[in-house]
């Protein structure tokens, strides 16, 4: 399970960040905490991006001027 999670992390965030976390001198528990913090940060960024997109869509819908075509 742990290797699958690490591989998912590496694919999602890129090997550069994963390599940085892997090379820092820390315990395995601290490494997992760092990886989990990256997952949490990614989830927060995704949620904010989703929210901003929905606000933009709502704004476009509310302020869209309907024109009468002849």
Mean pLDDT along residues 3-15? 59
* Residue 5 confidence (pLDDT): 55
Domain ranges of the chain: 2-62
Contact by Cβ (8 Å): 6, 18: yes
Condensed to tens digits (0 to 9), the pLDDT of residues 10-61 reads 565 566 777 788 888 999 999 999 888 888 888 899 999 999 999 988 887 7
Q: Which residue has the higher pLDDT, 52 or 65?
A: 52
Residue 21, number of CB atoms within 10 A of its CB: 19
Please report which confidence band the pLDDT of residue 6 belongs to, taking 50, 70 and 90 as the band edges.
Answer: low
């Amino acid at each position: 399970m742990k290797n699958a999670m690490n591989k998912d992390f590496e694919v999602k965030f890129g090997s550069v960040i994963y390599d940085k976390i892997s090379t820092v001198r820390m315990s395995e528990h601290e490494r997992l905490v760092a990886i989990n913090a990256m997952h949490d940060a990614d989830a927060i960024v995704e949620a904010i991006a989703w929210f901003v997109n929905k606000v933009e869509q709502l704004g476009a819908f509310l302020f869209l001027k309907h024109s009468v075509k002849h």
